[in-house]
Amino acid sequence: MDGATAADGTAESDINLKIALKLQNLLEQANATVILTRSDKNAIYEIDSKTLSQKKVSDIKNRVKIRK
- Examine residue 6 and state whether it is found in any structural domain, yes or no: no
- Examine residue 2 and state whether it is found in any structural domain, yes or no: no
- Examine residue 3 and state whether it is found in any structural domain, yes or no: no
- Domain residues for the domain of 48 are 12-63
Question: What does the DSSP 8-state code read for residue 39?
Answer: S
Question: Looking at the 3D structure of the chain, how many domains does it have?
Answer: 1
Whole-angstrom Cα distance, residue 26 to residue 22?
A: 6
- Examine residue 53 and state whether it is found in any structural domain, yes or no: yes
Backbone angles phi, psi at 21, to 5 degrees: -70, -35
- Examine residue 58 and state whether it is found in any structural domain, yes or no: yes
Mind listing the pLDDT tens digit for each residue in 14-38? Answer: 888 899 999 999 999 999 988 887 7
- Whole-model pTM: value is 0.59
Mind listing the pLDDT tens digit for each residue in 31-66? Answer: 998 888 778 887 777 888 888 888 888 877 777 666
- Examine residue 30 and state whether it is found in any structural domain, yes or no: yes
